[in-house]
Structure 1
């Protein structure tokens, strides 16, 4: 899979491979879910609890520079975030579940998702009815994580990954000659004031013990050194850990943008778009995963209070189904596993793949065991 990466909503070869293997293992398979997604239902001894396991499949538009013998053969496309590893974990987990299906008083829905990198795959699958047959009782997922060494696992109750949003600001002034600024209205100057003011939002409006980001990442204006342009455009990102925080940040950004542009004599157009909600782990499911880790890997390092401002559209599934998303440390001392995600030399310590599959399987066991205990008279 690493040699044949595919971009968002183009995971045709990957999804075909997944569907073929799930079918061979006896899963009830649906293809083309949300475009190129695949789901597989494995019926155990009981239809409930239904436990969902989600794995993403897409790659990134990056030219690989690892020099590995298994490097990407698709120019300009690379698995630089580990989604090939997630797919491999998913297939391995499917094989284990098929082999031990009679040992589970539960059923399993495996979801192989497209287009995580653009934040659209999960919602596409939900809109296409991936839960129409039966809504899962729990949802599980993993992400290899090079920021942490192999042997380390992050299993947080509560917030794990930030929600994300974007903003676009178009400032319109009055163009003119740079030698006659009094005859023009400079949108660059207005944009610079807006950029400076936006930097204060998180510092002055967010509790220092919480976390939020409002960052301008693009500023486009002008065509020549002696021309004051008519327009300037800004774009940026917003990161947050709650809906209330998203609302607050948007309100402050809107007010600052409108007031600053008005004070500069410019008109402004503002677009705000929430891309992904915060990823919130259910406390009960997180506890089950922590118990599972201690059972199968008692010497592993467990982190329970870890957050990242990165975003993940697994959050959409966890808004509808209680569950847990686990970081599996995959950074190592050798090869390219010390490089961060989205780097052209990114690679992982593949020794963690088996541990990830085993952890998912044991977590599922803990969840179905607890569910069975709660149903007992």
Structure 2
């Protein structure tokens, strides 16, 4: 792959030449969102577009995902580039011309833009097939939003067989358009879930002395869970324990037999991640024993932390600085949100980065998963540029 095929001027011209198409693809996908594991029409749309590019080997490793292989005429490394495609169960409130046509479903996280950017990169890179040394594998992934996630299904289906490196990007409302965020090492946290059932003995609200009140016990559990991060984890390490559900009771004059407590845990280090469920159960057991009640405890490991490989990150860093200048490359702190891109990074080295899509002048400021979330469509060109030039940089390295 000869680097001089992509001077800065040529890259700008190439990306601009398909920009209207990329925007059109994004708007079509935004109008027609589909939930995780239900991306049938989205996958078909992507498949049909890829077929028109020519030179690709296209397959469906799972029911609603697509992989397209661009195999060069010369041997070399295999680079994978990933985009996610699923939407969220949210009622859209943006009032844009191309709002979701489906009640209660919208692209509130930018995955429509991710898919459009990767389609654009695939179209441009297909024109360099004869000069490519190695292979570029375009991964259009389903079900990022719903654990266990689509990434692990694709890994199990063999989409990374033979892959040397993988990269992925996320549009973000936390950075202005034109800014690119990255980090060496940890960039997104692991996400786990827990459910606690406090089993007491219910009775009449007027005679609490004849009951074992699971609500009272449960509130003590919730309070004490906050001590784990503040007193049991090294302040240098990072973790979050959030209780997000507390359910119990059916009437105001009845003390219930049980309550359920649910929540989320975020962390980066394996030793911290593995120790937290032990600490949670230790607290639950101690409090329930003290009050003569019983408990049930469930803990589910979700997405692993996203840990960027330093060498791959350096190549993306170099690419970003060459395209946008060092002043627009932003080193960001690790984010406590999670991403199943980690399933790919657990198999091969790679890098995940963020493409700014915030535009305060246009009112594009709402956070991800908000019913008014939108992206500045100028950011789509930025993502395509990084994917295209990044492919050259990585395969030439």
Q: State the TM-score bracket (shorter-chain normalisation).
A: over 0.9
Mapped partners of 2:196, 2:151: distance in 1: 28
CA gap of 1:315–1:170, structure 2 versus 1, over 3 A, is: same
- Displacement, 1:265? 1.1
C-alpha distance in structure 1 between counterparts of 2:75 and 2:218, whole Å: 58
Q: Using the TM superposition, give the Cα deviation of residue 23 of structure 1 relative to its aligned residue in structure 2, in angstroms.
A: 2.1
Match of 1:121 in 2: 150
Structure 2 unaligned spans of 5+? 1-28
* CA distance in structure 2 between the partners assigned to 1:300 and 1:69 by the alignment: 34
SS of match in other structure, 1:49: strand
Contact 1:153 1:300 in 2 (8 A): no
Structure with more of its chain in helix, by fraction: 2
Structure 1 distance, partners of 2:274, 2:211, is: 35
Which residue does 2:288 correspond to in 1? Answer: 261
Kindly indicate whether the alpha-carbon contact (under 8 Å) linking 2:71 and 2:132 is maintained by their aligned counterparts in 1: no
> What is aligned with 1:60?
88
Work out which of the residue numbers 167, 181, 185 in structure 1 matches 2:194: 167
Please report the TM-score for the alignment, with normalisation by the length of structure 2: 0.90
Unaligned runs of 5+ in 1: 371-377
SS in 1 for 2:390: helix
1:155: how far off?
Answer: 1.7
Work out the CA distance in 2 between the residues paired with 1:203 and 1:171: 24
Map of 1:229 onto structure 2: 256
Which residue does 2:31 correspond to in 1? 3
Alpha-carbon distance, 1:336 to partner? 4.3
Q: CA deviation at 1:239?
A: 0.1
Match of 1:93 in 2: 121
1:57-206 to 2 correspondences below 5 Å: 57-119=85-147, 120-131=149-160, 134-206=161-233
- Of 300-309 and 81-90, deviating more is 300-309
CA 47–21 in structure 1, closer or farther in 2 if over 3 Å, else same: farther
Change (3 A) 1:159 1:107: same
Aligned residues: 367
The whole-number CA distance in structure 1 between the counterparts of 2:251 and 2:64 is: 45
- Is the CA contact 1:336–1:345 (under 8 Å) kept in the aligned structure 2? no
Shift of 1:45: 2.8
**2: CA distance between counterparts of 1:238 and 1:224?**
31
Aligned equivalents of 1:288, 1:325: Cα separation in 2: 12
User: 1:269, 1:245 → 2: CA distance?
Assistant: 22
The alignment's TM-score, normalised by the length of structure 1, stands at 0.95
How far apart in 1 are the matches of 2:94 and 2:190?
Answer: 31
Aligned to 2:341: 314
Given that residues 37 and 64 in structure 2 are in contact (C-alpha distance below 8 angstroms), is that contact kept between their aligned partners in structure 1?
Answer: yes
| 1:93–1:260 CA distance, 2 compared to 1 (3 A) | same
Moved over 6 A (4+): none
Give the distance between the partners of 1:333 and 1:124, measured in 2 at CA. Answer: 38
How far has the Cα of 1:254 moved from its partner? Answer: 1.4
